[in-house]
Amino acid sequence: MKFFVDTADVAEIRALNDLGLVDGVTTNPSLIAKSGRDMSEAIKEICDMVKGPVSAEVTATDAAGMLAEAAKLRAIADNVTIKVPLTEAGIQACKALSDDGASVNVTLCFSASQAILAAKAGAAFISPFVGRLDDIGQDGMSLIAEICEIYGNYNFPTEVLVASVRHPMHVVDAARMGAHVATVPPGVLKQMFKHPLTDKGLAAFLADWEKTGQSIL
């Protein structure tokens, strides 16, 4: 399973990248706004740091506009993945960009039928938003199971990129279902380290070690 980091905060990406945990990065217009950065500059900096795919999202809502923006974003670095919304125009742009050799991440996916369209349009990634489905009382992870089953039935090469991840169990469930990628906010990635028995066990080991009066070095 690949881990993408779901943020445009360069410092946070650097810290996780130094841990060897980052296979790619996803951004969206809200994350760029939160970072307070110029989009092109932030994407360039992230692409220079991270070797894997870095998603940069278009903001035009018509296919021609999306393609014009995609051309500019693709020029930033070779590892830019163009993120388009799951609309008719987005799927049209996805097909054109994929045919032209671009890596495309189709975002804002909330149903299996939408995921089929993205795969048919040649998307490199489909981004189903599990947390936002949970928020409205639906089961986000059931959608991941459905898409993994459907893509597996036809050997679609489109990778399932679990997005809108809110807690470590989303990541664990995604891994159990065989999703290719989870894009994880830095805070959730840090939560994945935590278990109270680890802290308690380490404290006990250190206390016992202290009693021995020994030092390894």
Tokens standing for residue 72: 């500019």
Binders of ligand E4P among 85-104, rule CB under 6 A? Answer: none
Least Cβ distance, residue 108 to ligand E4P (angstroms)? 8
Out of 6, 23, 45, 69, the residue judged to bind ligand E4P by CB under 6 A: 6
List the one residue out of 92, 215, 109, 91 whose CA is nearest residue 164.
109
Rounded Cα distance between 46 and 9, Å, is 9
Does position 29 interact with ligand E4P (CB under 6 A)? The reply is no
Catalytic residue, chosen from 34, 83, 95, 211, is 83
DSSP character for 156?
A: -
Out of 3, 129, 151, 156, the residue judged to bind ligand E4P by CB under 6 A: 129
Rounded Cα distance between 4 and 68, Å, is 26
Does position 114 interact with ligand E4P (CB under 6 A)? The reply is no
Q: Is 200 labeled as catalytic in the residue annotation? A: no
Q: Which amino acid is at 120?
A: K
Cβ closer to ligand E4P: 60 or 214? 60
Out of 127, 133, 147, 156, the residue judged to bind ligand E4P by CB under 6 A: 127
Least Cβ distance, residue 183 to ligand E4P (angstroms)? 5
Does position 131 interact with ligand E4P (CB under 6 A)? The reply is yes
The residue assigned the tokens 């980091």 is 5
Does position 28 interact with ligand E4P (CB under 6 A)? The reply is yes
End-to-end Cα separation, the chain, in angstroms? 37
Does position 163 interact with ligand E4P (CB under 6 A)? The reply is yes
Rounded Cα distance between 104 and 118, Å, is 9
Buried b (16+ CB within 10 A) or exposed e, 58-70: bebeebeebbebb
Helices 63-74, 88-99: crossing angle, 10 deg rounding: 40
Residues 6+ apart with CB under 8 A from 165: 6, 130, 131, 171, 174, 182, 183, 184, 185, 188
Interface stretch with ligand E4P, choices 44-52, 127-135, 145-153, 198-206 (CB under 6 A) = 127-135
Interface stretch with ligand E4P, choices 15-23, 69-77, 95-103, 126-134 (CB under 6 A) = 126-134
Contact footprint for ligand E4P (CB under 6 A): 6, 26, 28, 107, 127, 129, 131-132, 163-164, 183
Catalytic residues: 83
